[in-house]
Amino acid sequence: MFRNKHQACPLCGSEKIGRCYTITKYANPFTIDKCEKCSFMFMNPPFTEAEIKNMYREDYYSGKADYSYVDEREIERFAMHVWKKRMKFIARHAPAGNYLDVGAAFGGLMKAAEQYFIPHGIEISPYAGEKASALFPGRVHIGTLEDHPFSGDYFSAITMIELIEHLEDPRRALARCHGLLKKGGLLVVQTANMDGRQARQLKDRYEYFMPGHLSYFSMSNLRSTLRECGFSRIKVYYPVEFGLIPKLLKSRHAFKSFKDYRAWPRISWYHVKSKVHCGTFAMTSSMVIYAYK
């Protein structure tokens, strides 16, 4: 299928872009370009809208596809440790009211949000979105931020957890989120920091380069874009905002025996390393950004 190639940076519009990596380990290889002005990295040419929607069928959640994702329903009791801790943290930083999870999947994070907010969701996959909609009738939009039914100034908090990298036009998505938030509302974005030492060292072997990921930010250009979209205050957390213990408890979903707990020192060391950062430097490439309207 023919794909239109970006002739300019999708983030800043600069025409000074160059080839960065070619990723060949998947059935459908793709290339990553980098803007020389703002350092934004993006798939070029990107997969078409039809190709992207085709990725998120049932096979995507079953582990049978070339590019797949774990079915959160199978690990919900473990993942809930992270979801609940995250929502508790968000509730301390956002006013009460309506909450939106962009990329809601099966609605796991929405479940954790019920204690603090009235949860809503957007999910591009009909397979996952219909399951979430059954849990939250009338509150899950199967589609995207481009065709959502919500009104402006409606939400107290919006989350985009490992979602923004899936978007071809992330600047437009961030601007739409700003319009959906109430004054004083909070947007939470979790994605990879391509300026982190982890991504720089691994280069084209970095695991974040995958078919569904169209956009790759640094902390600097994501923070700048958020400000340009109207967000007034921005806080960056490394690697996440909710601490280590929930991550350790979640990791048990893959454990088969007591020996598997040997993974905990590795997970803990990664978390500790992630705390080493200064300015634009960060030891790892994990980050979460809180942006306030």
Q: What are 207-218's pLDDT values in tens digits?
A: 999 999 999 999
- Residue 115 resides in a domain: yes
Neighbours of 18 (CB within 10 A): 8
- How is the beta sheet containing 30-35 ordered, strand by strand? 17-23, 30-35, 41-43, 215-216
Q: Give CA–CA dist 245/251, Å, rounded.
A: 10
The Cα 60–Cα 166 span in angstroms is: 14
Q: Alpha-carbon distance 74 to 72, whole Å?
A: 5
* 11-61 per-position pLDDT tens digit: 999 999 999 999 999 988 999 999 999 999 999 999 988 888 888 988 898
Residue 20 domain-assigned?
no
**What per-residue confidence (pLDDT) applies to 3?**
78
Count of domains for the chain: 1
Rounded CA-CA distance 32/24 in Å is 11
Instruction: Indicate whether 64 pLDDT > 80.
Output: no
Give a yes or no: residue 30 inside a domain.
Answer: no
The pTM (predicted TM-score) of the whole model is 0.96
What per-residue confidence (pLDDT) applies to 182? 97
Domain assignment of residue 201, yes or no: yes
CATH number at residue 273: 3.40.50.150
Q: What is the dihedral of CA 193, 197, 200, 205, to 10 degrees?
A: -90
Residue 125 lies in a domain: yes
Query: Taking a C-beta distance cutoff of 8 angstroms, is the pair 37, 9 a contact?
Result: yes
Residue 1 belongs to a domain: no
Give pLDDT, residue 257.
Answer: 97
Query: What pLDDT was estimated at residue 280?
Result: 92
Please check whether residue 68 lies inside any domain of the structure: yes
Peptide bond into 10 cis (omega under 30): no
Say if residue 193's pLDDT is above 70. yes
Whether residue 281 is contained in a domain is answered as yes
Domain that holds residue 175: 60-292
